[in-house]
Chains A and B, each alone.
Chain A
Amino acid sequence: MSAVLFFIAAIGAVSGAIGVVMLRNQFYSVLALVFHLVSLAALFLLLRAEFVAAAQVIVYAGAVMVLYVFVVAYVGGGEEISSRSGLRIIGPLLAIALAIELCVAMLGTALKGISGKGAPYVPGFGTPEHIGKLFLTTYLFPFEVASLLLLVAAIGAIVLARRRRGLEPDQELEARYHPPRPSWTGTMAEAGGMTHFDEPEARPEGEPVGSQH
């Protein structure tokens, strides 16, 4: 039973990964990654890592993938033209070589545990209780550093993705402050080509506002 489940989940994980790389549409790539992550969570469950599997589904397949979908929808992920550079041919060859090398290393390893089903484990192995106890005792410092890292990343994302003044004309705000007037109305300044009112330095210093020619 466990072998059947393993093969279903493993085939799902690998095919999801292939889908991420092969699908041309970015949106479908994200969906393939969601499938891959859920299959991987099943593999984690087979390895008795309940809490990691739950975190994988909630944090990864839930939150992070929603972020991806939003960004793909915002940027407008269309079909991608394939690269013309030599990497298009060399890349897959390198990846195949890496896969073969890793498999050879695994087959040739002297680790005896690899062919076994794993060491005997205590009851409650991988439950939130055990993981939480480890996080708050042995691994307290990495836990705090991880929370600090999350804070820094959140602030960094806000700083990176915010609207910057000066880099681009803010057209929505412009239209709200200076709505376009109907034709044959407006001021002489606008007729003379001066359409922006928020440039006080264009006017000579000390001159009253009403005395424009």
Chain B
Amino acid sequence: MAIGWYLVVSALIFAIGVAGVLVRRSPLVILLCLELMLNAANLALVAFSRMWGGEDGQVFALIVMVVAACEVTVGLGLIVAMYRRGLPIDVDDLRELQG
């Protein structure tokens, strides 16, 4: 398959992730949609690495995976802390910082 097809799939997944972040209200699902976007970027990186025949893009994809794991850990910790304090798990209700 041509490399362009992989990039098209990556673009579609990224756009779906953007739609999810904008539409959904639960911070948990928003984190899932962020994962979708990071994975789309990973797919593009690996596709470009295949295109150039070098492995640097794959190393970059692995580092992105590490950063995504860190982001998930901290994000889920925040959600658990919100739940413990009895706050609503809903981004439309959490608007204390909105001016």
Contacts and interface: CB of A to CB of B under 8 A. Distances in A.
A99 interface: yes
Given A6-B1, A60-B65, A114-B7, A134 B46 contact: no
Interface residues of B, number: 70
Interface size class on chain A is 35 or more
Contact of B61 (A49, A102, A125, A146): A49
A24 B92 CA distance: 16
B22 A71 contact: no
Given A72-B28, A142-B63, A157-B76, A117 B81 contact: no
Contacts of A2: 1
A153 B25 contact: no
Given A18-B16, A95-B15, A113-B52, A52 B69 contact: no
B74 A67 contact: no
A173 interface: no
B36 A116 contact: no
B53 to A, nearest CB: 3
Given A21-B16, A150-B66, A120 B36 contact: no
Contact of B29 (A80, A99, A131): A80
A30 B79 CA distance: 15
B77 A156 contact: yes
B32 to A, nearest CB: 5
Contacts of A125: 53, 55
A119 B47 CA distance: 11
A117 B1 contact: yes
Interface in B1-53: 1-9, 11-20, 22-26, 28-29, 31-33, 35-36, 39, 42-43, 46-47, 49-53
B50 to A, nearest CB: 4
Interface of B: 1-9, 11-20, 22-26, 28-29, 31-33, 35-36, 39, 42-43, 46-47, 49-53, 55-56, 58-59, 61-63, 65-74, 76-81, 83-86, 89, 92
11 contacts: A17-B12, A18-B16, A21-B19, A21-B29, A46-B1, A72-B28, A92-B19, A98-B14, A150-B70, A157-B77, A161-B77
